[in-house]
């Protein structure tokens, strides 16, 4: 098997959907792009866009992707297929104007075979039409071929695509059984004798053990092989030591070499019950979870491998050990990164089943497509040790109905038939289950959404903002809710509760064998949530909404201050980490709550909003940043927030104590000081007592930045590979001569790029940013901007230059070397 990435040399054009009848006569060729490519991120934001805040006011549309290539005569004796890792959405594929396949779901990888319509020895044309009509998603989706496209060149006898499955059914400290199940496909009409040699390699490339099997495969059939291979003294895969082996398989047919392929895998043992909780290799693991959407901020949905790896690394460094792919199957690139970094994965199927949340969403195709899309998800995930949970769906509207219970059972049974080694859950939202479905709140929301031509997201946000918390609590624990939860959870391994915190302990009293996961929770509630997680074995973790900020669901986590004009939003602003990868204040609180950070952390609430009435949703945190630069507010009151696990903290302003105050778990790890702003230094001391009753002091401090600033550059990578998809993220910050970032300063920063790379995206983390991520001048937000530089296919050097009024121009050179 030859697996060739064919991302280069595509042409894309936006077309009028009413003119699809001109397909055979041809369309304008469009501009040339390299895949992955997100067409939606290049659209202009439009306040009148029907998607509204759901997709950050960015419209969808019809797009056509075209690639031409010469088909060699040798392919007559082979079989050729294409894989699309992700195409959003309603994709149809044509070869030389002949239909060869389609996929409605925008998050499924899918395959098409090209053999029947090749013109051998001639130039052939592949066309992909994508239809991303508006009102099909509650968040930013991107448009087009936003993940990789691969060409598979196979002999007539070959390993099936996605046909190699590796599991570890028996794992001990000194011994493990690796079960290798390769599928061989014979597309010839003749019978062939095949031999499969399997080698297990360690991380250094040494052969640990090997096995072989042989058989005769009949013409036109598929054959499953089954090899149980013992590995002595295995190194086990775990979050803290994500050790990966390689399984190398060699296929011979009638004595001739056919192909060799390699698959990465990990040896680990999963166990779960309500007594011990979740155990990996016999050790209890609590899920410090982050719900994440699929976009990569300033580059949109464009799924570049190193962008996914960067996002995974930043989440892991912030203290998370698990992601929930919300609410769709995660990319292959993210799975690879999670395997390498020891990040656990809950992979989720869909955000809707038979009832729509938007008029053009996946519910229109669910009945005909769900089974094949579930199969695609499981086959994609099977060999990845990071995947521990499958989710049948998120906040499904029909969960309170018998039909919803039955659909959930069907999906769970399908998943188990494909992979019995993982556990199955679902993000159950009690709000949507309602008290009485015929008079339910969810029905009222849906009816209102239909009348006002809004998505469910907008309506739920409005309803939740005016809801009585006492009423919500009563709904959570209502007997009818209990009845519906019990019916729905009967087919699941883990009860996934979205915003049903009161049930985390309550249900254990009724259902002592039920394992519970806080599958989606409010970020501000982490002190209370984690305390419940720590003291209950049946509760395996908590998944915050959300770990990483994202485009769309605009304004979900922003704070509305009295007197401010309504703004058009771009991002959710509910993430622990903003879209440029910068950790926000809540991220440091969470790290302290998890017990991963002993040092205190200082954040300052914007003095412009001191005493101003605010409307803050449950997804919003404080309006605070780690800065002591507030020119114009000298002598005025300001709130300083201190986060610490210590029992006491003491704040100092320019060396003067502001008093000791209690902190720690009993005070939600938070202490507030109302002080008068004066430039200089703010320091906090956190007082701990060790086992010998000696006092230990840890500190944090922030300083006022000088007004004069320079442009300071930092890149996550200084060298790229010339593969057309490698990417470096360069951050520009406004720093004074001491290196302190002036978050109050504002500059418009212009970018120039030349050489062996291009700008994939340029922007800031402002949740109200109104430009495009392709413009050449971007205003700073909190003293910074960021650019993603994408390598081309030629070796060389890319020079990135930045300019701003009042600052010297600066530049960075990044090498682009051969693969």
Average pLDDT over residues 333-354: 98
| Local structure of 120: helix, strand or coil | coil
Range with lowest mean pLDDT among 13-27, 199-213, 410-424: 13-27
C-beta separation of 100 from 114 below 8 A: yes
| Local structure of 473: helix, strand or coil | helix
The owner of tokens 């070959």 is 158
Q: Which residues contact 477 (CB under 8 A, 6 or more apart)?
A: 502, 503, 506
Q: What are 187-216's pLDDT values in tens digits?
A: 999 999 999 999 999 999 999 999 999 999
- Residue (of 768, 737, 731) closest to 749 by Cα position: 731
- Residue (of 603, 547, 552, 543) closest to 576 by Cα position: 547
Tokens read off for 373: 């899309």
Q: How many helices (H) and strands (E) does the chain have?
A: 12, 48
Cα–Cα separations (whole angstroms), residue 256 to 75, 198, 250, 605: 19, 16, 11, 71
In degrees to the nearest 10, what's the CA dihedral of 350, 354, 355, 358? 60
Instruction: Report, in this order, helix, strand and coil percent for the chain, each rounded to 5.
Output: 20, 40, 40
Range list of β-strands (E), 469-626: 494-498, 515-521, 539-544, 559-561, 601-605, 614-616, 624-625
Average pLDDT over residues 324-345: 98
Average pLDDT over residues 301-325: 98
User: Does the pLDDT at position 66 exceed 70?
Assistant: yes
The owner of tokens 């909190």 is 782
Cα–Cα separations (whole angstroms), residue 752 to 313, 372, 600, 771: 28, 46, 40, 18
pLDDT of residue 431: 79
Average pLDDT over residues 745-753: 98
Average pLDDT over residues 490-505: 96
In degrees to the nearest 10, what's the CA dihedral of 136, 142, 143, 148? -130
| Percent of the chain whose predicted confidence (pLDDT) is above 70 | 94
What distance in Å separates the CA atoms of residue 806 and residue 709, rounded to the nearest whole number? Answer: 8
Dihedral sign (CA 267, 273, 279, 283): negative
Q: How confident is the model at residue 18 (pLDDT cuts 50, 70, 90)?
A: low
H or E element, residue 279: strand 277-280
What distance in Å separates the CA atoms of residue 139 and residue 554, rounded to the nearest whole number? Answer: 8
- Residue (of 756, 759, 755, 748) closest to 788 by Cα position: 759
pLDDT of residue 451: 56
Tokens read off for 45: 């934001």
Tokens read off for 422: 């993982």
H or E element, residue 290: strand 287-292
pLDDT of residue 479: 86
Tokens read off for 456: 């469910």
User: Does the pLDDT at position 444 exceed 90?
Assistant: no
Q: How confident is the model at residue 454 (pLDDT cuts 50, 70, 90)?
A: low
User: Does the pLDDT at position 505 exceed 50?
Assistant: yes
| 52 backbone dihedrals φ, ψ, rounded to 5° | 55, -140
User: Does the pLDDT at position 448 exceed 60?
Assistant: no
Q: How confident is the model at residue 761 (pLDDT cuts 50, 70, 90)?
A: very high
| Percent of the chain whose predicted confidence (pLDDT) is above 90 | 88
User: Does the pLDDT at position 467 exceed 90?
Assistant: no
Range with lowest mean pLDDT among 278-282, 412-416, 476-480, 616-620: 476-480
Q: What are 112-159's pLDDT values in tens digits?
A: 999 999 999 999 999 999 999 889 999 999 999 999 999 999 999 999
Tokens read off for 144: 């087009």
| CB-count exposure of residue 123 (10 Å: 0-12, 13-18, 19+) | exposed
Q: What are 214-251's pLDDT values in tens digits?
A: 999 999 999 999 999 999 999 999 999 999 999 999 99
User: Does the pLDDT at position 469 exceed 70?
Assistant: no
User: Does the pLDDT at position 58 exceed 70?
Assistant: yes
In degrees to the nearest 10, what's the CA dihedral of 737, 743, 748, 752? 60
Residues paired with residue 30 on neighbouring β-strands, in sequence order: none
Average pLDDT over residues 744-765: 98
Tokens read off for 233: 């003294």
What distance in Å separates the CA atoms of residue 539 and residue 494, rounded to the nearest whole number? Answer: 9
User: Does the pLDDT at position 463 exceed 70?
Assistant: no
| Local structure of 105: helix, strand or coil | coil
pLDDT of residue 435: 46
The owner of tokens 């201050």 is 561
Average pLDDT over residues 636-657: 98
| 764 backbone dihedrals φ, ψ, rounded to 5° | -135, 180
What distance in Å separates the CA atoms of residue 265 and residue 805, rounded to the nearest whole number? Answer: 52
- Residue (of 696, 708, 773) closest to 734 by Cα position: 708
pLDDT of residue 19: 62
Average pLDDT over residues 702-728: 97
- Residue (of 558, 525, 789) closest to 670 by Cα position: 525
pLDDT of residue 568: 87
Range with lowest mean pLDDT among 78-87, 150-159, 311-320, 476-485: 476-485
pLDDT of residue 27: 64
Dihedral sign (CA 66, 301, 329, 454): negative
C-beta separation of 252 from 258 below 8 A: yes
Q: How confident is the model at residue 12 (pLDDT cuts 50, 70, 90)?
A: very high
- Antiparallel, parallel or unpaired: β 2-5 and 149-154: antiparallel
Residues paired with residue 179 on neighbouring β-strands, in sequence order: 167, 228
pLDDT of residue 462: 45
Range list of β-strands (E), 568-718: 601-605, 614-616, 624-625, 637-643, 648-653, 656-662, 670-676, 681-689, 695-703, 710-715
What does the H/E/C string look like for 449-461?
HHHHCCCHHHHHH
H or E element, residue 112: strand 110-113
Dihedral sign (CA 23, 29, 30, 34): positive
User: Does the pLDDT at position 425 exceed 60?
Assistant: yes
For 13, which DSSP code? E
The C-alpha angle 696, 674, 660, rounded to 5 degrees, equals 25
Q: How confident is the model at residue 319 (pLDDT cuts 50, 70, 90)?
A: very high
C-beta separation of 289 from 323 below 8 A: yes
| Local structure of 487: helix, strand or coil | helix
Helices 469-477 and 479-489 pack at an angle, to 10 degrees, of 50
What distance in Å separates the CA atoms of residue 68 and residue 245, rounded to the nearest whole number? Answer: 38
For 534, which DSSP code? H
Tokens read off for 716: 């996550």
What does the H/E/C string look like for 723-756?
CCCCEEEEEEEEECCCCCECCCCCCEEEEEEEEC
Q: How confident is the model at residue 461 (pLDDT cuts 50, 70, 90)?
A: very low
pTM of this structure: 0.95
| 452 backbone dihedrals φ, ψ, rounded to 5° | -100, 10
Q: Which residues contact 564 (CB under 8 A, 6 or more apart)?
A: none
Average pLDDT over residues 759-766: 98
Q: How confident is the model at residue 22 (pLDDT cuts 50, 70, 90)?
A: low
Complete DSSP assignment for 591-605: HHHTT---S-EEEEE
| Length of the chain as a residue count | 819
- Residue (of 785, 816, 777) closest to 799 by Cα position: 816
As a whole number of Å, the end-to-end CA separation of the chain is: 20
User: Does the pLDDT at position 709 exceed 60?
Assistant: yes
């Amino acid at each position: 098997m030859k697996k060739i990435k064919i991302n280069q040399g595509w042409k894309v054009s936006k077309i009028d959907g009413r003119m699809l009848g001109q397909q055979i006569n041809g369309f304008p060729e469009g501009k040339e792009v390299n895949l992955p490519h997100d067409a939606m991120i290049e659209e202009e934001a439009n306040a009148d866009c029907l998607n509204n805040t759901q997709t950050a006011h960015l419209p969808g549309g019809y797009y056509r992707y075209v690639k031409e290539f010469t088909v060699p005569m040798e392919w007559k004796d082979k079989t050729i297929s294409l894989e699309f890792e992700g195409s959003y959405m309603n994709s149809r594929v044509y070869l030389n104007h002949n239909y060869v396949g389609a996929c409605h779901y925008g998050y499924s990888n899918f395959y098409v075979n090209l053999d029947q319509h090749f013109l051998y020895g001639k130039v052939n044309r592949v066309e992909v039409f994508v239809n991303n009509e508006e009102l099909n998603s509650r968040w930013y989706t991107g448009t087009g071929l936003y993940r990789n496209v691969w060409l598979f060149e196979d002999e007539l006898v070959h390993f099936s695509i996605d046909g190699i499955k590796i599991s570890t059914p028996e794992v001990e400290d000194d011994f493990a059984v690796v079960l290798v199940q390769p599928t061989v496909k014979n597309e010839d009409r003749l019978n062939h004798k095949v031999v499969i040699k399997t080698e297990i390699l360690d991380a250094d490339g040494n052969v640990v053990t090997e096995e072989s099997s042989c058989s005769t495969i009949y013409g036109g059939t598929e054959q499953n092989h089954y090899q149980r291979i013992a590995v002595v003294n295995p190194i086990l895969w775990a979050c803290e030591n994500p050790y990966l082996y390689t399984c190398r398989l060699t296929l011979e047919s009638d004595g001739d070499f056919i192909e060799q392929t390699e698959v990465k895998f990990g040896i680990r043992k999963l166990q779960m019950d309500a007594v011990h909780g979740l155990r990996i290799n016999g050790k209890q693991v609590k899920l410090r979870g982050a719900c994440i959407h699929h976009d990569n901020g300033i580059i949109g949905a464009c799924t570049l491998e190193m962008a996914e790896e960067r996002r995974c690394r930043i989440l892991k460094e912030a203290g998370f050990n698990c992601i929930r792919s919300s609410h769709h199957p995660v990319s292959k690139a993210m799975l690879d990164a999670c395997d390498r970094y020891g990040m656990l994965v809950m992979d989720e199927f869909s955000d809707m089943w038979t009832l729509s949340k938007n008029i053009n969403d996946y519910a229109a195709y669910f009945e005909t497509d769900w089974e094949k899309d579930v199969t695609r998800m499981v086959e994609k995930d099977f060999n990845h040790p990071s995947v521990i949970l499958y989710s049948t769906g998120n906040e499904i509207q029909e969960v309170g109905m018998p039909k919803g219970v039955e659909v959930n059972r069907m999906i769970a049974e399908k998943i188990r038939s494909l992979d019995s080694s993982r556990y199955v859950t679902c993000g159950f939202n009690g709000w949507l289950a309602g008290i009485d479905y015929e008079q339910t709140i969810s029905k009222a929301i849906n009816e209102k959404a239909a009348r006002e031509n809004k998505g469910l997201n907008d309506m739920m946000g409005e309803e939740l903002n005016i809801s009585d918390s006492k009423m919500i609590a009563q709904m959570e624990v209502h007997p009818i809710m209990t009845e519906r939860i019990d019916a729905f959870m009967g087919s699941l391994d883990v009860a996934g509760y979205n915003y049903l915190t009161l049930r985390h302990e309550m249900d254990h009293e009724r259902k002592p064998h039920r394992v519970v996961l806080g599958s989606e929770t409010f970020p501000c509630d982490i002190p209370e949530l984690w305390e419940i997680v720590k003291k209950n074995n049946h509760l395996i973790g908590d998944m915050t909404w959300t770990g990483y900020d994202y485009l769309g669901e605009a304004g979900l986590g922003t704070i509305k201050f009295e007197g401010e004009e309504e703004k058009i939003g771009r991002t959710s602003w509910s993430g622990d980490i903003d879209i440029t990868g910068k950790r926000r204040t809540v991220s440091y609180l969470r790290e302290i709550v998890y017990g991963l950070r002993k040092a205190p952390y200082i954040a300052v609430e914007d003095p412009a909003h001191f005493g101003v009435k605010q409307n803050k949703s449950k997804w919003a945190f404080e309006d605070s940043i780690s800065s002591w630069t507030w020119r114009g507010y000298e002598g005025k009151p300001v709130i300083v927030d201190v986060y610490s696990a210590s029992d006491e903290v003491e704040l100092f302003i320019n060396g003067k104590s502001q008093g000791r105050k209690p902190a720690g778990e009993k005070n939600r790890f938070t202490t507030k000081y109302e002080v008068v702003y004066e430039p200089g230094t703010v320091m906090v001391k956190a007082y701990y007592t060790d086992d010998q009753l000696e006092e230990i002091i840890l500190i944090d401090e922030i300083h006022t930045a000088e007004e004069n600033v320079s442009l300071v550059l930092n890149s996550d990578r200084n060298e790229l590979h010339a593969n057309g998809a490698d990417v470096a993220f360069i951050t520009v910050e406004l720093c004074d001569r001491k290196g302190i970032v002036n978050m109050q300063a504002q500059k418009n920063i212009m970018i120039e790029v030349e050489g062996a790379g291009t700008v994939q995206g340029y922007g800031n983390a402002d949740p109200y940013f109104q430009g495009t991520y392709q413009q050449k001048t971007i205003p700073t937000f909190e003293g910074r901007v960021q650019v993603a530089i994408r390598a081309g296919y030629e070796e060389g050097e890319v020079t990135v230059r930045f300019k701003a009024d009042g600052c010297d121009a600066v530049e960075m050179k990044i090498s682009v070397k051969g693969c």
